[in-house]
Structure 1
Amino acid sequence: MFLEGVHGYTPELADQRGIFFARGPAFKRGHMHSGIRMVDVYQIFAKVLDIQPLPNDGVWENVAGLFAEKETVD
């Protein structure tokens, strides 16, 4: 029997999670985040690239805390 989409990956297990590193002016310096869901990575790329994300399963609130505040110039 062949089951599609069965890959054995269990994201609830800490040793099966991926690592995501981000560095640059868009991100807070020295900030550590407890974990990012793969569906939320799209939100990060859309923000950094300054594009409007298409409808997706990610949640902006899950990654909003990663970003540095923009400095205002008077």
Structure 2
Amino acid sequence: MADKGYYIQGVQVMGKMFPLGTKIYTGNHGYDPNSLSDMRGIFYATGTKLKKGYKAPPVKMVDQYNLMCHIIGLEPLPNNGSWDIIRPMLSNAPISVV
């Protein structure tokens, strides 16, 4: 994993020690969003089942699955998500957690 401010680039020609290209691509994967907050995504949501103006702490992708299932009325399959972050986002709509 690269440290903040660094980019890992592969060697294009086998046997060479340095990359041939000098182009740096931004927005790539390979950074840990749990230890580097600059690399976290932004999650915006609006709708009748969500509190208006609520600002949540960081949400993991596995938690978003539970939220989306709840909003469209599906029972989520067993997963590693948690309702602890999702529950405060919701308006008065009840949650059925299995």
How much identity, in percent, do the aligned residues show?
38
Q: Gaps spanning 5+ residues in structure 1: where? A: 1-6
Structure 1 consecutive aligned stretches of length 4 or more whose deviation exceeds 6 Å: none
Select the structure of larger CA radius of gyration. 2
The number of aligned residues is: 64
Normalised to the residue count of structure 1, the TM-score between the two structures is: 0.79
Partner AA of 1:50 in structure 2: G
> How much has 1:9 moved relative to structure 2?
2.5
Aligned counterpart for 2:54 among listed residues 2, 7, 31: 31
2:20 paired with 1:20 = no
TM-align CA RMSD: 1.1
Q: Gaps spanning 5+ residues in structure 2: where? A: 1-28, 94-98
Aligned counterpart for 2:72 among listed residues 33, 44, 49: 49
> How much has 1:11 moved relative to structure 2?
1.3
Task: Indicate the structure with greater helix content.
Answer: 1
Normalised to the residue count of structure 2, the TM-score between the two structures is: 0.61
Partner AA of 2:33 in structure 1: P
Cα separation, 2, equivalents of 1:9 and 1:65: 28
Cα separation, 1, equivalents of 2:56 and 2:85: 10
2:98 paired with 1:66 = no
